[in-house]
Structure 1
């Protein structure tokens, strides 16, 4: 264990605790989060998502940061992911009940907050399933393209803002990993159950919980990457 490991663990815990308790305990921050939800979503994802990638890098390379990793570009990317995820939550949380109503299900107003547990569970699962089956694959692919672009441009901010050669990058993606693990396994067995829990939480905690999941998935992907190297098919 490196001497930086306890510091990294403490940073992750403090980040989660800060975003969990500060908005409720300090009125000014709480008002800011309510008035500027997209700014808070950007910050939550930027911090926790980047930490997740740093933990994944530590697992695969024994370092939390290294030349070419692109800490600043990844911070920006994860912040933008937070904005997109917040938008997707709004769209699917409000659109799914309408979709189920068209299919003939009797969904009462505010069922996600006021319904009995089984109703809330079924609605949360439906929201999560639709979001992860319709939105997540393309979103994950776009994230993968941007991550490769960061690596190919040396992790610099100047390189990050250079044009992305999407055609070439799509040809370099590990489709066996992307399809066989990320799509076929993480979506049904991780993201759909995890986001079902997300939509059972109060609205002000959903984005935080989703951002925290980025840390968990980073560790999962790191171990999957190690296994694929150690045991090639």
Structure 2
């Protein structure tokens, strides 16, 4: 993900509401997994452990198609669940429980770290809300700290590169996987370069779609509220 920027017609919007690139979260979780690998690597396959960390780090941003940074972001819930699962692993030494612990822990890291980013809205570089990440335990939004101003900001890409620099040279993955990860870093860089122009790019692409094909092109509408954050409605046919 970089971010799941959804194509729409020229009269609509592109969803631009992720605090940090999903790839930043993915590499953050991957770097954390590499650090603890010497302790955990004997209990389960290295590839499976790293895959669980990377996927778990990406997973919360799937709620871009619902209420972003609310539906699948549980900074407290994931953290508590990860602690419970870790306890279960220490008691059972089950490889399956360990993989689940790593995945949930990565999702917790993602949810907690989103508060360091920008607000959940269409143009977070011109903020009008204080929706950072939703805390279901408290029933309210945490305000964004904006250390990373928005998804794809220069500092976001630098953070992504920093975590990738920890994860990729560690030697825990094969040359093929390393090449794929470097490709994702390059994609993140391209995304950052285009970040503020995504709406214009989507509008241009929309005008290039033949009229007879527009019935099968999804129309995406973005709605922002103080209580639900950013929600996206996808419809086919116009």
When normalised by structure 1's length, the TM-score is 0.30
